Amino acid sequence: MKKITLIEERNARRAARALLRKRKRNGDEATHRGVGDILSDMIQSRTGAPPCQKFCKATAGKMNSWGAARCREDCDELAGEIRANVARMGWASAFGTKAIAAVVEAAAGDSVYRALVLRACDQSDSLPPG
């Protein structure tokens, strides 16, 4: 599995925003991308697998309905939920947590997942309204 660098993630975000702007200019119907949709894409880029149909979609739906502001407020709760989803799907190694699980659990806890939630919120804020 190929690891995605921060530069590649940034370039993917820029390309997505450019595509949305182009669709809006051309009058195409641009579907609104919520925080949960963005986070699902980020996780899929790291794992190489689509989000799980039950728990991941439920978390993404909750995040979409909450919006970026509430997701930031409740990012600890969301990070715990995402960590449980990642563990349930066996994707921990994609987030660099499997090899150092004991250290991460003791020192960082949900910080990897909290950072993903906050990054998705920032990305959602930067997208044009849909």
The arithmetic mean of pLDDT across residues 1-19, rounded, is 67
Contacts made by residues 85-92, CB under 8 angstroms, sequence distance 24+: 85/52, 85/55, 85/56, 85/59, 86/43, 86/113, 88/52, 88/55, 89/47, 89/49, 89/52, 89/56, 91/43, 91/46, 91/47, 91/49
Q: How confident is residue 106, by pLDDT bands cut at 50, 70 and 90? A: very low
Q: Where are the domains of the chain?
A: 6-126
3-class SS of residue 126? helix
Q: How confident is residue 86, by pLDDT bands cut at 50, 70 and 90? A: confident
Contacts of 107 (CB under 8 A, 6+ apart): none
pTM over 0.75: no
More confident residue, 127 or 89: 89
Instruction: Say if CB 85 and CB 56 are below 8 A apart.
Output: yes
Report the chain's mean pLDDT, rounded to a whole number.
74
The confidence score (pLDDT) of residue 89 equals: 77
